[in-house]
Amino acid sequence: MKEDVEPLVHDGFAGEPAKRCLNYIQSQRELGKHVVGIYCGYAPMEVIRAAGLVPAVLCAFADKTIAAGETVLPANLCPLIKSSYGFIKTDTCPFYAVSEAVIAETTCDGKKKMFELIADIKPTHVMDLPQLPDQKEALENWTKMIKKLGGFLENTFDCKVAKKNVEQEIKNTNYKNQLLNRIFNFAALTPVPLTWQEIYDLTYLGQTATIQDMLPVLNAALAKLQKRVADGVYHGKPDSPRVLVTGCPVGGDATKVFKIIEEAGGVIVALDSCTGMKAYSGYIEEGTQDPFAAISRRYLELPCSCMTPNKRRLTELDKLIGKFYPDVVIDVVLHACHSYNVESQKVKAHVEGKHSLPFLKIETDYSQSDLEQIRTRVEALLETVPTK
C-alpha cells in the first residue's frame, strides 16, 4: 500500500480506533444521549439504539492493566477478563467512565464472576445467554432476555423501547451490514486493495456509530476502494500469501499477531472473530410480528465457541474460505480461553481435511514476551505456501 494513499476511515473520524470512537461518543453525549457499556457481540445493538442510547465497547485488550486485575483475579484466567477488570479497578477505561450502565452476557464462567465484582459500581444488567442455540427453548429464552433488557433500559434511562423503533433499527443494521460486506468483498481481490487495519477500523466504529453517521464513511470508503483498484493500488505483493485469521476476539495489544503476519509477508484477507467480520455477516428478518424474536434468532446464529454444538463456525469458515481464497488459516486462542482452545481441534481437522489448507494455532496473551516465537512459527507457515 502506498504511504500517500488516503485512509478509508476519514471524514471526521480520523485517528486511532479507540480514540475515534471515544470522540464520537463524547459528541453524542453533547447532544444529550446516554451511553451504555457493552462487552460482547451478543449485546443486541438494535434494542440499545431503539432506546436512543449509544453503545460503548468497554476496554479489554491491554496488557498494562493485567497486573491490577491479578490482585483479585486468578493469574491463570483469560487475559481479556483480567484486562477488563484491571481497567475498572484502576479507573483507566474512558468508555467505562462515560457509560451510565453496563450490559453483560453469560458467554463464559470467568466473565460471569467478573460481572459480580463490578455490579455494585454502576447498574449492570446480566443477560442469561442460552448456549444450546438449536433448541426451541433457546430462542424463547433469549427473546425473553432481550425483552427484559428493553425493560431495564426503559427503567434506567426513563425512555421507551417501541417495537416500531426496534424494527427500524433492524433495517438500519441490515443496510449497514450490506455496505460493510461490500467493502469486505474487496479483500477477495488479488492483489488486495485494503489492509486488515482498515477492516478493523470500520468494524470497530460500526459497533458504536449510528447508520446515519456511518453512511458517509462507508460510501466514501467504497469510492476510495474503487479508485484504488482503478489505479492499481494494493497492499503487500500480488503473490503475498493470503491469510484468514479466526478464533478469539482480537484487539489492542493482541493485534501483535496481525502485525507479525504482515511483517512476515502475508496479507490478511479475512478477520473471522466477533471483533472482525463475524458480527456483520448475518441478516435480521424484517417485517415480523415480533422484532425481538427476529433479533434473538439472528444473535443465536453467531458461532461463538461458547455455543454447543458449534457447527455454524465450520459452515461459516467454509463460506469465508470460498469467498476470500486464503492460502493458510491461523487460529488465535487467548490463554485460558478453554472453549476456543478445545474447539481449535475441530477447526484444524476441518481446514486441513476439507480444504487442504495449512493451519496454525497460536496461543497467546497481551504481553510482548512471545513475539519472536510467534514470528518464527508464522514465517515457517507462510513458507509452506507455493510460489504463485
- Dump pLDDT digits (tens) for 43-71: 999 999 999 999 999 999 999 999 999 99
Q: 4, 38, 30, 194: which is closest to 107 by C-alpha?
A: 38
Strand locations in 128-177 (E): none
Instruction: Reply yes or no on whether the pLDDT at 13 is more than 80.
Output: no
Lookup result for grid cell 474487496 = 186
Q: How close are the terminal C-alpha atoms of the chain, in Å?
A: 20
**Alpha-carbon distance 358 to 249, whole Å?**
22
Per-residue pLDDT band at 1 (split at 50, 70, 90) = low
Say how far apart CA 387 and CA 100 lie, in whole Å: 54
State the cell numbers at 135.
433448541
Average pLDDT over the chain, rounded to whole? 95
| pLDDT attached to residue 7 | 77
Band of residue 124 on the pLDDT scale cut at 50, 70, 90? very high
- Taking only the tens place, the pLDDT of each residue in 225-240 is 999 999 999 999 999 9
pTM: 0.96
Query: How many angstroms separate the CA atoms of 91 and 114, rounded?
Result: 15
Which uninterrupted H or E stretch holds 169? helix 163-184
Instruction: Give the residue ranges of DSSP H helices in 248-387.
Output: 256-263, 291-300, 311-324, 338-354, 371-382
pLDDT in tens, 267-302: 999 999 999 999 999 899 999 999 999 999 999 999
pLDDT tens digits, 333-378: 999 999 999 999 999 999 999 999 999 999 999 999 999 999 999 9
Edge-to-edge order in the sheet of strand 54-57: 54-57, 35-38, 101-105, 124-127
Domains of the chain, earliest start first? 17-161 (3.40.50.11890)
> 263 burial class (0-12, 13-18, 19+ CB within 10 angstroms)?
exposed
In whole angstroms, give the CA distance from residue 73 to residue 71.
Answer: 6
